[in-house]
Amino acid sequence: MTDVIDVIVAGGGPTGVMLASELRLQGVRAVVLDKDAEPTPVVRALGMHARSVEVLDQRGLVEPFLALGKTHPLGGFFAGIVKPSPTLDTTHPYVLSIPQTTTERLLTEHATELGVEIRRSSELVGLSQDDDGVTADLADGTRLRARYLVGCDGGRSTVRKLLGVNFPGEPTRVETLLGEMELTASMETIGAVNAEVRKTQLRFGAMPLGNGIYRVVAPADGVAEDRSVPPTFEEFKQQLQATAGTDFGVHSPRWLSRFGDATRQAERYRVGRVLLAGDAAHIHPPLGGQGLNLGLQDAFNLGWKLAAEVNGWAPEGLLDSYQAERHPVAAAVLDNTRAQTVLMSLEPGPQAVRRLMSELMDFEEVNRHLIEKIIAIEIRYDFGEGHELLGRRLRDVALKQGRLYDLMHDGRGLLLDQTGRLSVAGWADRVDHVVDVSEELDAPAVLLRPDGHVAWVGDDQQELLGRLPRWFGAAVG
Ligand SMILES: Cc1cc2nc3c(=O)[nH]c(=O)nc-3n(C[C@H](O)[C@H](O)[C@H](O)COP(=O)(O)OP(=O)(O)OC[C@H]3O[C@@H](n4cnc5c(N)ncnc54)[C@H](O)[C@@H]3O)c2cc1C
């Protein structure tokens, strides 16, 4: 059976669901396919960083996340080197601790409210594309047709493999077991064992989650051939014994999982009408807690651009700017996790570099630079020469009448005009024009893309008219 839709999103993890919401916000009919019958109970990510929290804020979604998460200071996020939190240019200068399962549930609720269709037990197994669209083959023999398809199907992405896109990098060298379970050992014993073992093995620990449940980590014995197969509870207990000489009397596991430390990035994020985002496009060890954040921000960058293509107003090159902007960002994250991996080695050489790095981080600017890399507020896309805000995301500045991010919930472009003399006539269907003032904004006017990045700064109407088509296509009317 053939079904006509605008965009198929393969994979209903955080990246896929976020992307589908962004598409839906622009009126695009997006269908999310996920191979699993139910959302996974496995909690991978625990940390959400400033730029992701800002992204949620820009869409009016942040409140439930703040209500269900806990905020923690950011000092210590780079390679676990503990320092005071630096002063950061954001209204969310903390890490939000929230289980990935909760993040996924909240994002899915939002997507569903917007009208995104999420089809579970729908595994993509084949695809082909032509000049007009993409055909996806599902494991149950059904076939779907859409104008575009985005692979948000995780690190082992079927879409990426079907496209034949190379995924160069380093393979997994060490594997870690992760699970949630109950422990019979006392808090004192657990604390003492944790402290002793972590002198020589950092991939070990039992962290209390409340109600007697712990998140337990232990090194695996070697590297499994298929990491999608969870460890057995017996294997988990054996590895605790082998590493710590005790298994803490673990029992009643909620779920068990394993993860590797491979670092890889897709060579291309787009092949014709098929694109890649999130873990499908890049994987790296979880140091600094960046993968989910990176995926959400890929989706935020791609959503409005792909919607512009579907809606017929995308200027030449807009969709390709997704790869041009996001590939270097992920490459930088891969690099910072490589650096953190070295700094966390317990060998004497890396330990000496770690001590040196710790000394350098006593300089506030160094500390801030490294933290900003992780929380992704320092990103500057290359929009050419110009004002220092050009290409950067604008923080949530206070206006005379409210706050900037409250004006961005609909995902449209925005001209924030402190002069009152400018106009977006011809683009009013795609760009809002707000005349207001902010003591926090040192620029006469800024043109913001739907993802909040500054596309133009100035006070000259002719200059603005020259810049609008680059991001918002031709004027109408
Ligand atoms: C131990 C650990 C801790 C982590 N901590 C953090 C952290 O603190 N902060 C952070 O930002 N990141 C963290 N991460 C990384 C984070 O978990 C991932 O980067 C994130 O899940 C990626 O989201 P995604 O949507 O791109 O892919 P996934 O979450 O992998 O989702 C992919 C989805 O696609 C579906 N799928 C797969 N194949 C198909 C197919 N053929 N057809 C249809 N559906 C398919 C899957 O069922 C799945 O639902 C951590 C990772 C690990 C392992």
Instruction: Encode pLDDT of 444-467 as tens digits.
Output: 999 999 999 999 999 999 999 999
Cβ of 305 closer than 6 Å to ligand 1, yes or no, is no
Ligand 1 test: best mutation among 15, 156, 292, most atoms within 8 Å of CB? Answer: 292
Cβ of 153 closer than 6 Å to ligand 1, yes or no, is yes
Residue 225: the pLDDT is: 86
Residue 357: the pLDDT is: 97
Nearest CA owner, ligand 1 atom 31: 13
Closest CA to 22 of 220, 384, 296, 273: 296
Q: Which atom of ligand 1 is nearest to the CA of 11?
A: 34
Amino acid at 306: L
Cβ of 292 closer than 6 Å to ligand 1, yes or no, is yes
Ligand 1 centroid to residue 462 C-alpha, Å = 45
Ligand 1 centroid to residue 43 C-alpha, Å = 10
Q: Which atom of ligand 1 is nearest to the CA of 259?
A: 53
Residue 76: the pLDDT is: 83
Bridge partners, residue 392, by sequence: 380
Ligand 1 centroid to residue 279 C-alpha, Å = 6
* Tens-digit pLDDT profile for residues 343-353: 999 999 999 99
* Tens-digit pLDDT profile for residues 286-340: 999 999 999 999 999 999 999 999 999 999 999 999 999 999 999 999 999 999 9
* Tens-digit pLDDT profile for residues 17-76: 999 999 999 999 999 999 999 999 999 999 999 999 999 999 999 999 999 999 999 888
Ligand 1 centroid to residue 298 C-alpha, Å = 13
* Tens-digit pLDDT profile for residues 386-420: 999 999 999 999 999 999 999 999 999 999 999 99
Ligand 1 centroid to residue 45 C-alpha, Å = 8
Residue 2: the pLDDT is: 42
Closest CA to 259 of 44, 51, 74: 44
Nearest CA owner, ligand 1 atom 19: 291
Cβ of 45 closer than 6 Å to ligand 1, yes or no, is yes
Q: How much is the mean pLDDT over the chain?
A: 96
CB 331 within 8 A of CB 49: no
Q: Alpha-carbon distance 281 to 163, whole Å?
A: 12
| pLDDT average, residue stretch 154-173 | 98
Cβ of 172 closer than 6 Å to ligand 1, yes or no, is no
Cβ of 46 closer than 6 Å to ligand 1, yes or no, is yes
Q: Which atom of ligand 1 is nearest to the CA of 52?
A: 11
Banded model confidence at residue 4, pLDDT cuts 50, 70, 90: low
Ligand 1 centroid to residue 132 C-alpha, Å = 30
* Tens-digit pLDDT profile for residues 77-136: 899 999 999 999 999 999 999 999 999 999 999 999 999 999 999 999 999 999 999 999
Cβ of 100 closer than 6 Å to ligand 1, yes or no, is yes
Ligand 1 centroid to residue 400 C-alpha, Å = 40
Closest CA to 448 of 471, 422, 466: 471
Residue 1: the pLDDT is: 39
Token pair for 177: 């077991």
Residue 436: the pLDDT is: 98
Ligand 1 centroid to residue 413 C-alpha, Å = 30
Distances (CA, A) of 376 to 49, 370, 380: 8, 10, 10
Nearest CA owner, ligand 1 atom 14: 45
Please tell me the pTM assigned to this model.
0.97
Banded model confidence at residue 226, pLDDT cuts 50, 70, 90: confident
Q: Which atom of ligand 1 is nearest to the CA of 153?
A: 34
Cβ of 205 closer than 6 Å to ligand 1, yes or no, is no
Q: Alpha-carbon distance 468 to 233, whole Å?
A: 58
